[in-house]
Structure 1
Amino acid sequence: MKRSRVPSLVLDPVRESLISSSGALLINEVVRVAGLDRGLSRALAPWRPARAIHEPGKVLLDVAVAVALGGDCLADIAALRAQPEVFGAVASDPTVCRVFAALAGDVDAAVSAIRTARADARAVVWARRRPLAGVPGTRAGGQVIVDIDATLVGAHSDKEGAEPTFKRGFGFAPMCSFVDHGEHGTGEPLALDLRPGKASPWISADHITTLDNALAQLPDGERAQVLVRADTGACSKAFLHHVTDLGLEYSIGFTAQDTVASAIAVIPEQAWRAAIDGDGQPRADAQVAELTAWMPAPINHDRASRPGPKRWPAGMRVIARRERPHPGAQLRLTDHNGWRITCFATNTTGRGWSLPLLEVRHRQRARCEDRIRALKDAGLQNLPFHQYAKNRLWLEVIALAADLLAWMQTLAFDTRHPARRWEPKRLRFRLFTVAGRIIRTGRRRHLRLPRDWPWNHLIDRGWNTLRTA
């Protein structure tokens, strides 16, 4: 028999009354501050049967909290059911399934109701502590950056809507939108729109729908200065015209085609400027230049059968970045004299926006990939239902869970505190999954945490901050 690494330690069959998710009190306080429980109860009241004990809003919120704590299917709500002192009365598995079946029966109305409750709660959270720096409606840190990107979610069975993807996989291709909290924060999802696996990442109608859904999630006073940021999949005339018609700015990846190659060939060498990193320091072997004046006039095929606008919107600028490829990288046809060329289009003008600043702002779109990776650690890795409508609801649950995590970080910690940037895995390990014991004294219940837990001070700080609401 192998000896235990901890001498004389054996598993005792006697069980104690412990709380295994003590840090989840922070999530409960966020729900209270944002009024999300009341909002979901009102929004989903039409789906509550006359004699039902559990409200659909409470059921959906419990599933979202379970996902925030690390669950990835409906059965994981059992972790909350085992801790009624913290989470209250939690519905049984059959009740949860019946609630999802009822909501899926009119999924468009249910999704709309859930998103309305989320938008109302977001307005309350942002009114208490805005997650972005600067003054709302200004470019001095107050600009709201909305990132849009598609991702792929694999499916391991023949689920409804699961199809071969453009990357030769099998599953779904949801379109996601996030608001970027900047370098000192994380981000929160605005809209997660489920799409079948064969959906292309270049469909302009899907980008337009996701953008409209994302804008509806922002508080009214935050929509005046929005920057839409996306990769080349969103670079279509229809989408850019939609953005400009809304009076918004954009920074969209621009495909390096023949027109770009022609401009690169004739642009003078002195037009290139040194690129910078996110900290403002020069970036080695990287330069930026504006190609707008050297772009050849496009050839427009004005066919009546071709829908949508035929020309790019007025005021569009095309900016190129060139960089020496890393050793072993394969050059492309659009590369020029050994330089790797990438481009993006923007309509941002005015003082203070130099070419290097515009380029580094666009390159920070990579944070969107971090947000998608975090979502896949919070329930997006695999859609659990066979029915497409129920998987749409599951995406709303994921969005609720991610909102709760982002709002907790925003409300509980100072702007530059490292915990503002932690992803779900680290939040769970350090804050949420710490065990505690409830002590009853003086007609009150007290939750006691382990004496030597390294992150007790963060839980205490978050709790005290949230309780002052």
Structure 2
Amino acid sequence: MTKSCTLDRIRVTADDENGVSDAGLLIAATLGDRLGLGPLLREHLTVPGSAGANPDRKCLTLIHSLLAGGDCIEDVNALRAGSTGAVLGHKVAASSTVGTFLRSFGFGHARQLDAVTRRLLARAVTAGAHPGFSESVTVDIDSTLCETYGLKKDGARGVMRTGLRGYHPLLAVIAGTPDIAGVVAHARMRRGRSSDSTSAPVFIKETISRLRSAGAAGEIVLRADSGFYLSDVVTACRNNDVRFSITARMIGSAVKDKIAAIAESEWTPIDYFLPGAGVAEFTFIPFASGPRGKLLAERGEIHPVRLIVRRTPLTDAQAINRGQDPDQPALFPIYDYHPMITDRTGEIVEIEADHRRHAEVELTIRDLKHDMAMNHFPTKSFGGNAAWLILNTIAHNLTRWATRLGLATAPVMTKKIRRRIYNVTGRLVRTGRRLVLRLPRRWPWAALITAAIERLRALPAASG
């Protein structure tokens, strides 16, 4: 092999105490300081014993480790090297300390973190992170399956419907504002064998409560898929004065017969990637059949709604799966039907298109799983893993808010922000009794970082 004399001449030493890895975390730390994240953690977290001492420092250590790309407890030690702790605003806890802290959590302590996220959202709205929040808010409710391995994780020992083991958390994601889409308003850990709608009515009530307390005085719209097509979910929306659009299930003949009876002239063409797609609507009373429907009728919980249905021609793959030749058109066109129920007013085409955008919630779930660390729950404790979930959402939201308030750019994947902003290296020097963080001269996004820090420092400190 050819020997590289140039590389061999480089002398490697490990003696710089002023090096700062992940220096761009100063942006997230500054925003957290302006929002009062540390005091909120101290105020609400009361984990018992010596493991619960300094809860703010331990939680912030985990949050900053997640932002830097850490996906397990051991990764927090990377923040202890050099002078990185100086740009975080707190002493970095050791991985063993953080692990003991998480394992001390019960589910009630994870709920204390819920109180932190509730007040943090309100403070971010006050700081201007969500323009138009007081006028209208759209929130997407969804669940996701998080696989685990082994039989020692509490709440994840049972086999899920997919044949895997894991957890099944619920998420409420704020949507509808392109410059700040993807903020997690609420998260709830659930056991793996929970169905999509387990605890959904209570979760929805809590989500709406925190949106109202954060300043959502106007219309709130809740979007959900067919996993939440339940009378209890609709009742929770009505009781909390929330508009809803929920994908309906094609169960029984009630919906199927009405769709089949729609005349061709009643279908309105829509802009869709498959030619021939259209929408139609009719009035429908959901959940009215069977003994359950009779009970709901007696309670006065059955109301007529708009049922909007989208029809789309089969793709070639769908045609092949159904035993058809895609190159030979069928004598009569064959469609797939996608119904939804809603109590919203407005044009059918606009409402259907807006409901379709519910799928964007998957982008947030993908970001939490693959750009944060929601794919890996590190402890055996259910409470500790519930806290891990909420700390992931806090870290995710800090990036979204920093992008809006500091970087002043459209939201992008956390991975891109991490590569360009958080992971930049620097050097901490003292001059004139001040600390100076020196970034690489030719770093392409150095000006963006310095401008973001100035914007965030100009924000008023949170109070109340």
Corresponding residue for 1:209? 202
Corresponding residue for 1:32? 33
TM-score by length of 2: 0.87
Is residue 300 of structure 1 aligned with residue 271 of structure 2?
no
* Distance (Å, rounded) in 1 between the aligned partners of 2:305 and 2:268: 20
* Distance (Å, rounded) in 1 between the aligned partners of 2:126 and 2:294: 48
The 1:304–1:311 alpha-carbon spacing in structure 2 relative to 1, beyond 3 Å, is closer
Corresponding residue for 2:329? none
Is residue 426 of structure 1 aligned with residue 416 of structure 2?
yes
Aligned identity (percent) is 25
Note the alpha carbon deviations across 1:258-290, whole angstroms, 9 max, x for none.
22221122111121112236xxxx974321111
Question: Per the alignment, in what secondary structure is the counterpart of residue 121 of structure 2?
Answer: helix
1:84-163 map, 5 Å:
84-87=85-88, 88-104=90-106, 107-108=107-108, 110-132=109-131, 134=132, 136-137=134-135, 143-158=136-151, 159-162=153-156, 163=158
Letter in 1 for 2:424: V
Corresponding residue for 2:334? 338
Is residue 320 of structure 1 aligned with residue 309 of structure 2?
yes
1:162-241 map, 5 Å:
162=156, 163-180=158-175, 182-201=177-196, 203=197, 205-220=198-213, 221-222=215-216, 224-241=218-235
Among candidates 426, 439, 452, match of residue 436 of structure 1: 426
Among candidates 216, 228, 241, match of residue 247 of structure 1: 241
More deviation, 209-218/375-384: 209-218
* Distance (Å, rounded) in 1 between the aligned partners of 2:6 and 2:184: 43
Note the alpha carbon deviations across 1:440-461, whole angstroms, 9 max, x for none.
1110011111111111122122
Question: Per the alignment, in what secondary structure is the counterpart of residue 91 of structure 2?
Answer: coil
* Distance (Å, rounded) in 1 between the aligned partners of 2:33 and 2:178: 28
For the 8 Å contact 1:150–1:176, the answer to whether it is kept is: yes
The 1:328–1:458 alpha-carbon spacing in structure 2 relative to 1, beyond 3 Å, is same
Note the alpha carbon deviations across 1:168-216, whole angstroms, 9 max, x for none.
2221211111111533333111222122221112x3x421122123224
Among candidates 446, 453, 458, match of residue 463 of structure 1: 453
Note the alpha carbon deviations across 1:334-385, whole angstroms, 9 max, x for none.
xx94111111111001xxx211110110010111100100010211112111
User: Could you tell me how far 1:305 is from its partner in structure 2?
Assistant: 11
The 1:2–1:225 alpha-carbon spacing in structure 2 relative to 1, beyond 3 Å, is farther
Name the count of aligned residue pairs.
441
* Distance (Å, rounded) in 2 between the aligned partners of 1:181 and 1:38: 31
Corresponding residue for 2:47? 47
Corresponding residue for 2:262? 267
Letter in 2 for 1:442: G
Letter in 1 for 2:120: A
User: Could you tell me how far 1:310 is from its partner in structure 2?
Assistant: 8.1
Among candidates 344, 356, 360, match of residue 353 of structure 2: 360
TM-score by length of 1: 0.86
* Distance (Å, rounded) in 2 between the aligned partners of 1:219 and 1:263: 38
* Distance (Å, rounded) in 2 between the aligned partners of 1:405 and 1:423: 9
* Distance (Å, rounded) in 1 between the aligned partners of 2:301 and 2:308: 15
Corresponding residue for 2:344? 348
User: Could you tell me how far 1:413 is from its partner in structure 2?
Assistant: 3.5
For the 8 Å contact 2:52–2:101, the answer to whether it is kept is: no
Is residue 290 of structure 1 aligned with residue 284 of structure 2?
no
* Distance (Å, rounded) in 2 between the aligned partners of 1:413 and 1:449: 17
For the 8 Å contact 2:102–2:379, the answer to whether it is kept is: no
* Distance (Å, rounded) in 1 between the aligned partners of 2:182 and 2:8: 46
Quote the RMSD (CA, aligned, Å). 2.9
Corresponding residue for 1:390? 384
More deviation, 1-10/375-384: 1-10
Among candidates 254, 264, 271, match of residue 276 of structure 1: 271
Question: Per the alignment, in what secondary structure is the counterpart of residue 70 of structure 2?
Answer: coil
Question: Per the alignment, in what secondary structure is the counterpart of residue 430 of structure 1?
Answer: helix
For the 8 Å contact 1:319–1:344, the answer to whether it is kept is: yes
Letter in 2 for 1:386: K
